[in-house]
């Protein structure tokens, strides 16, 4: 289970595909994708022109509507963060290249026989619903209202999950980390700790969304709402409660509006500028972005590098590995039944782990001991972080199989030198995997036959 926290991205899911989007495109809220296979209306309500093929990748076409749909998705994310959209022609070229790379990788995955079970697509859909604090039925209703059919949406989820598995298989064995690599990384971190640019910040924000076609009266009313929120925050009201009450940003209810500790270059420049002269606990002036009005609070500022203390989790799990005799769907159903039995006091979690878990931890009742951040794969770690001590998560699918996870304890702990080196090792691994991915994606793209088509006259 000791694996790096891989970079996972999916425009429509909480966890799926590492597409390595530019930071500006990794929006603070997720906008559902638009359908790529049918004409859609322009912002002024007029219909688009008929669709046409813009490129062919090993005999598979990419249409103009696919490119425009993906551009619209990214434009929403740029607007959410107050970022300027690149020049139109260059933006279209970048998006087309991304689609070509994706198409080539999907073809490679099919040739490799990589498939995704329905249960994993179900899990991705459920994760997206949780992220947006709605039921799956409501998520589907919103997607339909946005013009995306359920089959289209699930097919996109499936494609991203297939690519994630392909990359894991292709890249994991390529990366080797030595003690010299770790030593070099720690030296660089020590040198960088004196650089102000290495500072990490944790911000919380409340978004008062402004509709695209809002008139002046609506904008003024929404600005007044943001000002009232700002005044309450500056008066000392709990910011997390304010975010749950007033923020239009998906996920604010669960996170209390917190974005998370990260370096300044991973935040929108508008946010960084707004809090530049604020101390911890400070609340910014109102910030206007393409998405609306933001009220920002500084939760934490600290020097970058390896942390001295971390939050550790003590968890246990039951692992079932799908195979010819057990599909992922059947494994999910079996573990869901285990969860019901444990919660009804009809079975003991540790005993079920000893009897059924296909993991080395089975002999100890599934006990995984204390873990530091980044020790487990993202799907597993996200599930653990979402639990309170004693709680059991719904079955979780990862590259290792299907897990039933229970959090036993959580604590704040000072890291030993050995643990700091282990965190450094994981960070070095992440960096090398990113580099390996970039080279691998370039190789796959280079092997593909790509024909560009001119638009019809």
pLDDT tops 70 at residue 266? yes
Residues 213 and 342 in one domain: no
In a domain, 1, yes or no: no
Burial class for 194, CB neighbours closer than 10 Å (0-12, 13-18, 19+): exposed
In a domain, 441, yes or no: no
Residues 163 and 257 in one domain: no
pLDDT tops 60 at residue 6? no
- Angstrom distance (rounded) from CA 352 to CA 339: 10
| β-strand partners of 404 | 318
In a domain, 211, yes or no: yes
Where b means 16+ CB within 10 Å and e means fewer, 404-425 reads: bbbbbebeeeebeeebbbbbbb
**Residue 398, SS3?**
strand
pLDDT at residue number 83: 63
For residue 321, the Cα-to-chain-centroid distance in whole angstroms is 25
Written as one string, the DSSP assignment of 137-190 is HHHHHHHHHTT--HHHHHHHHHHHHHHHHHHHHHHGGG----HHHHHHHHHHHH
Choice among 61-75, 89-103, 128-142 with the minimum mean pLDDT: 128-142
Residues whose CB is less than 8 angstroms from the CB of residue 18 and which lie 6 or more positions away in sequence, other chains included = 6, 7, 8, 9, 164, 167, 437
Residues whose CB is less than 8 angstroms from the CB of residue 389 and which lie 6 or more positions away in sequence, other chains included = 407, 408, 409, 410
| β-strand partners of 397 | 402
Which helix (DSSP H) or strand (DSSP E) does residue 234 occupy? helix 216-234
Q: Which domain holds residue 244?
A: 196-302
In a domain, 103, yes or no: yes
Residues 296 and 324 in one domain: no
pLDDT tops 80 at residue 312? yes
Neighbours of 46 (CB within 10 A): 8
Write out pLDDT tens, residues 350-367.
Answer: 999 999 999 999 999 999
314 band by pLDDT with thresholds 50, 70 and 90: very high
- Angstrom distance (rounded) from CA 17 to CA 9: 4
Among 68, 87, 2, 7, which residue's Cα sits nearest to residue 436?
A: 7
Mean pLDDT to the nearest integer, 54-70? 92
pLDDT tops 50 at residue 16? no
pTM above 0.75, yes or no: no
Among 288, 286, 305, which residue's Cα sits nearest to residue 296?
A: 286
Among 11, 31, 46, 290, which residue's Cα sits nearest to residue 159?
A: 11
pLDDT at residue number 291: 82
Are the beta carbons of 358 and 326 closer than 8 angstroms?
A: no
302 band by pLDDT with thresholds 50, 70 and 90: confident
Residues 57 and 170 in one domain: yes
Residues in the chain: 457
Percent of the chain with pLDDT over 70: 83
In a domain, 206, yes or no: yes
Choice among 67-76, 320-329, 417-426 with the minimum mean pLDDT: 67-76
Name the token pair of 183: 């030593």
- Angstrom distance (rounded) from CA 67 to CA 427: 34
**Residue 305, SS3?**
coil
Write out pLDDT tens, residues 166-219.
Answer: 988 888 888 899 999 999 988 887 776 655 556 778 888 899 988 878 899 999
CATH number at residue 314: 3.10.50.40
Residues 156 and 208 in one domain: no
CATH number at residue 32: 1.10.4030.10
- Angstrom distance (rounded) from CA 133 to CA 139: 9
Choice among 13-22, 90-99, 102-111, 306-315 with the minimum mean pLDDT: 13-22
254 band by pLDDT with thresholds 50, 70 and 90: low
Residues 152 and 63 in one domain: yes
Percent of the chain with pLDDT over 90: 39
Comparison of pLDDT for 21 and 51, the residue scoring more? 51
Among 115, 100, 172, which residue's Cα sits nearest to residue 441?
A: 100
In a domain, 452, yes or no: no
Residues 376 and 285 in one domain: no
On average, the pLDDT of the chain sits at: 81
Write out pLDDT tens, residues 381-439.
Answer: 888 988 999 999 999 998 899 999 999 999 988 888 888 888 888 889 888 988 898 89
19 band by pLDDT with thresholds 50, 70 and 90: very low
In a domain, 368, yes or no: yes
The number of domains in the chain is 3
């Amino acid at each position: 289970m000791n694996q790096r926290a891989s970079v996972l991205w999916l425009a429509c899911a909480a966890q799926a595909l590492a597409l390595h989007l530019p930071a500006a495109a990794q929006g603070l809220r997720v906008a559902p994708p638009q359908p790529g296979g049918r004409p859609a209306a322009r912002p002024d309500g007029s219909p688009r022109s008929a669709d046409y093929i813009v490129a062919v990748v090993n005999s598979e076409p990419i249409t103009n509507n696919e490119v425009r749909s993906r551009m619209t998705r990214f434009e929403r994310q740029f607007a959410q963060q107050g970022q300027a959209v690149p020049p139109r022609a260059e933006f279209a070229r970048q998006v087309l290249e991304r689609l070509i790379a994706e198409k080539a990788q999907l073809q490679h995955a099919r040739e490799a026989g990589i498939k995704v079970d329905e249960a994993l697509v179900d899990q991705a859909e459920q994760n997206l619903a949780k992220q947006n604090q709605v039921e799956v039925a409501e998520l589907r209703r919103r997607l339909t209202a946005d013009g995306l059919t359920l089959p289209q949406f699930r097919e996109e989820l499936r494609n991203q999950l297939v690519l994630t598995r392909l990359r894991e298989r292709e890249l994991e064995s390529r990366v080797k980390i030595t003690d010299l690599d770790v030593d070099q990384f720690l030296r660089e971190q020590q040198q960088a700790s004196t650089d102000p640019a290495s500072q990490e910040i944790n911000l919380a924000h409340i978004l008062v969304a402004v509709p695209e076609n809002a008139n002046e009266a609506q904008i003024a009313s929404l600005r007044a709402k943001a000002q009232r929120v700002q005044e309450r925050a500056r008066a000392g009201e709990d910011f997390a409660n304010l975010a749950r009450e007033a923020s239009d940003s998906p996920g604010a209810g669960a996170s209390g509006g917190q974005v998370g500790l990260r370096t300044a270059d991973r935040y929108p420049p508008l946010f960084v500028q707004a809090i530049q002269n604020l101390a911890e606990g400070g609340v910014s002036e109102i910030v206007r972005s393409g998405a609306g009005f933001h009220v920002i609070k500084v939760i934490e500022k600290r020097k970058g590098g390896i942390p001295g203390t971390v939050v550790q989790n003590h968890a246990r799990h039951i692992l079932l590995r799908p195979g010819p005799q057990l599909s992922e769907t059947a494994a999910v159903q079996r573990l869901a039944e285990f969860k019901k039995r444990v919660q009804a006091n009809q079975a003991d979690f540790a005993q079920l782990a000893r009897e059924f878990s296909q993991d080395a931890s089975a002999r100890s009742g599934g006990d995984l001991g204390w873990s530091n951040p980044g020790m487990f794969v993202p799907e597993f770690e996200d599930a653990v972080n979402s639990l309170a001590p004693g709680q059991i998560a719904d079955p979780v699918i990862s590259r290792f199989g299907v897990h039933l996870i229970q959090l036993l304890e959580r604590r704040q702990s000072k890291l030993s030198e050995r643990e700091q080196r282990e965190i450094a090792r994981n960070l070095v691994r992440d960096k090398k995997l990113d580099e390996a991915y970039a080279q691998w994606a370039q190789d796959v793209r280079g092997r593909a036959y790509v024909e560009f088509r001119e638009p019809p006259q």
